[in-house]
Amino acid sequence: MGLLDMAFAPLRAALSSVEHEAAGEVRDIEHVQHRVLDAAEAIRDATESIESHVEVIETLATSISPLTESVNRLTTELVELNRTLAPVAGAEREVSRLEHLFGRRRRPAGEAEATAPAGPPPAAPPGAGDPPS
C-alpha cells in the first residue's frame, strides 16, 4: 500500500486542487447569479416606475386640450366684460372730475379730527390762580 499511496499522492493532490478550485468557481457563479437576479429586479422596478410616469404624462397630455379651450372661453368672456364695463369706468372718471370741480375732497378720519377748530380753552377751577396764603 505504501507504493500505491506514493504513486497516487500526486494524483490525489491534483484532484483535491481541482475540486477546491471547482468549489470556488461554484461560489463565484452563485455570486454572479445573485448579481444578475438583483440587476433584473432593479430593471423590473425601473420599468414599473417608467410605466407609472408614462400614465401621468398621458393624463396631462389629454388634459391640455380642455384646458386650452377653457382659457380661450375665459379670455372671450373677459373681453366682453371689459367692453361692458368701459362706459361705467368712463362715468366714474367723469364723477371724479366733478368732485374736484365742486371742491369735495375726502380726508382720512384722523386728519379730519386734527384739523377741526378748537373751542375756547377750558375754564380754570375757582381758586386755582390765587396766591397761597
Domain ranges (residues) in the chain: 14-104
CA angle 72, 75, 76 (to 5 degrees): 90
Dig out the grid coordinates for 71 from the structure.
382659457
Joined grid coordinates for residue 112: 379730519
pTM: 0.40
Query: pLDDT averaged over consecutive 10-residue blocks of the chain (133 residues)?
Result: 68 75 78 91 94 95 94 95 87 78 63 54 56 53
Fill in the amino acid letter for 2.
Answer: G
Which cell numbers hold the place of 20?
Answer: 477546491
C-alpha cell at 2: 505504501
Cell numbers linked to 42: 432593479
Residue 86 exposure: Cα atoms within 13 Å on the Cβ side:
7
**List of residues 6+ apart from 99 with CB closer than 8 A:** 105
Which backbone phi and psi does 108 adopt, to 5 degrees?
-65, 155
Instruction: State pLDDT tens for residues 5-35.
Output: 777 777 777 777 777 777 777 788 888 899 9
pLDDT of residue 27: 81
